[in-house]
Amino acid sequence: MTEGVLLRESLREADLDTYSAVIMDEAHERALNTDVLFGILRKVVQRRRDFKLIVTSATLDAEKFASFFGGVPLFTIPGRTFKVDTMYAKSPAEDYVDAAVKQVMTIHLSHPKGDILVFMTGQEDIEATCYVLAERMGRVDGAPPLMVLPMYSQLPADLQAKIFDASDIRKCIVSTNIAETSLTVDGIRYVIDAGFCKIKVYNPKIGMDALQITPVSQQNANQRAGRAGRTGPGVCYRLYTERQFCNEMMDAQVPEIQRTNLGYIVLLLKSLGVKNLLEFDFMDPPPQDNITNSMYQLWVLGALDNTGELTDMGKRMITFPLDPPLAKMLLFSESLKCTAEVLIVVSMLSVPSVFFRPKDREEESDAAREKFFVPESDHLTLLNVYKMWEANNYSQAWANDHYIHSKGMRKAREVREQLVDIMKQQKMPLTTCGTHWDVVRKAICSAYFYNSAQIKGIGEYVNMLTGMPCNLHPSSSLFGLGYTPDFVVYHELIYTTKEYMQCATSVEGEWLAELGPMFFSVKESYKSRLLKRAKERHERADMEHEMAMQSEKDQFAIEQEQRQAKKAKLALKNSMYVGCYIQ
């Protein structure tokens, strides 16, 4: 099972009585859920003498872990590895893509057989490396064939599988750090390490994630080098100097818990009865700003009260394995009777982007993506993609034809089915709004009203709370279609080349005031006030005119009654005179 599943098990059983032993592998990766589990399991170990915890890793600061768990014994199990020679660059590489390409060509043209593994930062660098390498190899007369294969998490599964295919042709695999531990490719004899990786860092003061290219740690570098010695002796070429390795690289990467939004973790720990989050047994405590900002976000969403305790809304939110805003969106949709649609939106947001944009087919993939666009919302665009995939019987061929990750779509479907089961347990009805998707936008606004932005220029917005500039991403359905809403909310703000809103949706100003009254209120503009006053003057004049007309009518009616009464009196008097005469 995953760490997340075990965390949710701890909600039902604080001491994990169902389990007598837990083995945690790849502990060195220090994923968010892993670090929280360490703190929980430390308490379990102290309370249960019959409970066994085994922590394993290929690269680990063992003494630190042993000390954290109370001086537990250490065991070293020798693995079957071969010698790896490490070669450093004489001087730092100015362009690591160019340096990596040159090193690959040198190995391929003059070194013994063996596949090559190149570590790059991300998809953009990987595709650039593959393109430059193929182009330069094409200019070398009589060069032996070289199979250049990219490898990153967003690559379609069929293309990922190619790296494992046996071949007589030398392979050059250009990968992210996914190849450090998550997968092993036989035949790798040469590793080229650019020395960088891409990580997401959260800034709690402005509520923005930044994708930063940073040097890898010494542990990561050693793990990369070890990839060359799995099936035989190998060589690791580091595109940085030995001095950089010793003096500029950290021993270990910064744990995820110290550089990410902790909303879900805070909600989880509150559900476990942790009163003071700052005193929880974190191996590496997160910054206090991260914790307080996450608590504030939960208060804004209605999950915590003014004393920091869980509300009824918070207790319902934690039943779903979702980030707090997504859980709030799903729960709020119940009152709008659109849970079926919001369920799909939440499921699609719970998986990586399903859109595939291959380097040599950008225009085709962009055109295919535009067919799904819903101009008011990127969230509704995701809903539209899922609906059309569903209408085509969840076809993998259809997904491939439309540059959609079928693997990501299947994962979204699995998430949806899991959430449906939880909704049944919570007795939440599955209701649909049909094609009336405005209520879906309002449900989205209920979760992200604090991530709201007001228009500043074409494609340019500014966050209404922090003043941070926010830009529509060129891939957004709201970008370049002539539709520029005054207000939008967004899933997250990520800094790459500039501040981009990820997954934006247009909303009404009245919704912001209704759903986020602690931040917003409806205020009339000067022009609106002038128009309102003019309207009031016209209405007052019309009312005075009507009152005058009514007064005239009333006066006329009174005079008419008086005349009729006078005539009746005169007629009665005349009749009396006639009676006297007859007598």
d(CA 318, CA 267): 7
Q: Which two tokens stand for residue 469?
A: 């500039």
pLDDT tops 80 at residue 537: no
d(CA 291, CA 314): 17
Domain that holds residue 230: 84-251
The contacts of residue 42 (CB under 8 Å, 6+ apart) are 68, 69, 70, 281
Strands 469-472 and 499-507, bridge-based pairing:
parallel
pLDDT of amino acid 530? 66
d(CA 218, CA 224): 10
Q: Which two tokens stand for residue 532?
A: 């309102």
When pLDDT is averaged across residues 296-308 and rounded to a whole number, the result is 93
Residue whose C-alpha is closest to residue 373's, from 472, 479, 477, 459: 477
Last residue of a domain, one of 481, 503, 523: 523
The answer to whether residues 323 and 244 belong to one domain is: no
pLDDT of amino acid 130? 94
Judge residue 490's burial from the number of C-beta atoms within 10 Å of its C-beta, 0-12 exposed, 13-18 middle, 19 or more buried: buried
Within a domain: 30: no
The answer to whether residues 330 and 471 belong to one domain is: yes
pLDDT of amino acid 577? 55
Residue whose C-alpha is closest to residue 206's, from 572, 474, 570, 465: 465
When pLDDT is averaged across residues 295-312 and rounded to a whole number, the result is 93
d(CA 86, CA 107): 14
Q: Is 198 helix (H, G, I), strand (E, B) or coil?
A: strand
The pTM is what? 0.81
Within a domain: 302: no
How many domains does the chain fold into?
2
DSSP bridge partners of 119: 175, 193
pLDDT tops 90 at residue 531: no
The answer to whether residues 324 and 240 belong to one domain is: no
Residue whose C-alpha is closest to residue 225's, from 198, 272, 192, 247: 192
**C-alpha angle 126/128/133, rounded to 5°?**
95
Q: Which of 31-40, 133-142, 339-348, 476-485 has the lowest mean pLDDT?
A: 476-485
- E-state strands within 133-281: 146-151, 170-175, 188-193, 196-203, 208-215, 234-238
Last residue of a domain, one of 251, 266, 281: 251
Q: CA dist 561 to 16, 167, 576, Å?
A: 94, 113, 23
What are the pLDDT digits (tens) for 255-286? 999 999 999 999 999 998 888 888 899 999 99
The answer to whether residues 247 and 353 belong to one domain is: no
The answer to whether residues 352 and 235 belong to one domain is: no
The answer to whether residues 246 and 332 belong to one domain is: no
Within a domain: 337: yes
What are the pLDDT digits (tens) for 163-193? 888 888 999 999 998 888 777 788 899 999 9
Q: Please report where in the chains the tokens 């670090």 appear, as a residue.
A: 35
What is the CB-side half-sphere exposure of residue 468 using CA atoms within 13 A? 22
Is the torsion defined by CA of 165, 170, 174, 177 positive or negative? positive
Within a domain: 423: yes
Percent of the chain with pLDDT over 90: 55
The answer to whether residues 199 and 345 belong to one domain is: no
pLDDT tops 90 at residue 151: yes
The amino acid at 395: S
Asked whether the beta carbons of 229 and 514 are under 8 A apart, the reply is no
d(CA 213, CA 196): 6
Percent of the chain with pLDDT over 70: 95
pLDDT of amino acid 552? 80
Q: Using pLDDT thresholds of 50, 70 and 90, give the confidence band for residue 4.
A: confident
d(CA 213, CA 246): 19
Q: Which two tokens stand for residue 28?
A: 């060195």
- What are the start-end ranges of the H helices in 304-361? 312-317, 324-336, 339-349
Q: Using pLDDT thresholds of 50, 70 and 90, give the confidence band for residue 242.
A: very high
pLDDT of amino acid 559? 79
Q: Please report where in the chains the tokens 């250490």 appear, as a residue.
A: 74
pLDDT tops 70 at residue 104: yes
The answer to whether residues 346 and 468 belong to one domain is: yes
Within a domain: 160: yes
Strands 469-472 and 460-463, bridge-based pairing:
antiparallel
Q: Which of 265-269, 388-392, 477-481 has the lowest mean pLDDT?
A: 477-481
pLDDT tops 80 at residue 574: no
Which CATH number do you get for residue 139? 3.40.50.300
Segment holding 94, helix H or strand E: none
The answer to whether residues 361 and 481 belong to one domain is: yes
The answer to whether residues 244 and 328 belong to one domain is: no
pLDDT of amino acid 253? 87
Q: Which two tokens stand for residue 119?
A: 């570590």
Q: Is 468 helix (H, G, I), strand (E, B) or coil?
A: coil
Segment holding 489, helix H or strand E: strand 487-495
The amino acid at 455: I
What are the pLDDT digits (tens) for 27-75? 877 888 999 999 999 999 989 989 999 998 776 678 888 888 888 888 8
Label residues 117-128 b or e (16+ Cβ within 10 Å = b): bbbbbbbebbbb
pLDDT of amino acid 314? 95
The answer to whether residues 466 and 364 belong to one domain is: yes
Within a domain: 18: no
Label residues 158-189 b or e (16+ Cβ within 10 Å = b): eebeebeeeeeebbbbbbbbebbbeeebebbb
Asked whether the beta carbons of 364 and 403 are under 8 A apart, the reply is yes
- E-state strands within 99-231: 115-119, 146-151, 170-175, 188-193, 196-203, 208-215
The contacts of residue 268 (CB under 8 Å, 6+ apart) are 7, 11, 36, 318
Q: Which two tokens stand for residue 407?
A: 């693997």
Q: Mapped to the 3 state alphabet, what secondary structure does 499-543 carry?
A: EEEEEEEEECHHHHHHHCCCCCCCCCCHHHHHHHHHHHHHHHHHH
When pLDDT is averaged across residues 466-479 and rounded to a whole number, the result is 89
Asked whether the beta carbons of 115 and 172 are under 8 A apart, the reply is yes
Last residue of a domain, one of 502, 523, 544: 523
In this structure, what DSSP letter does residue 463 have? E
Is the torsion defined by CA of 16, 18, 21, 23 positive or negative? negative
Residue whose C-alpha is closest to residue 379's, from 206, 211, 501: 501
Within a domain: 239: yes
Asked whether the beta carbons of 516 and 487 are under 8 A apart, the reply is no
Within a domain: 448: yes
Q: Using pLDDT thresholds of 50, 70 and 90, give the confidence band for residue 127.
A: very high
The answer to whether residues 232 and 341 belong to one domain is: no
Q: Which two tokens stand for residue 17?
A: 């009585």
Mean pLDDT of the chain: 88
When pLDDT is averaged across residues 554-567 and rounded to a whole number, the result is 79
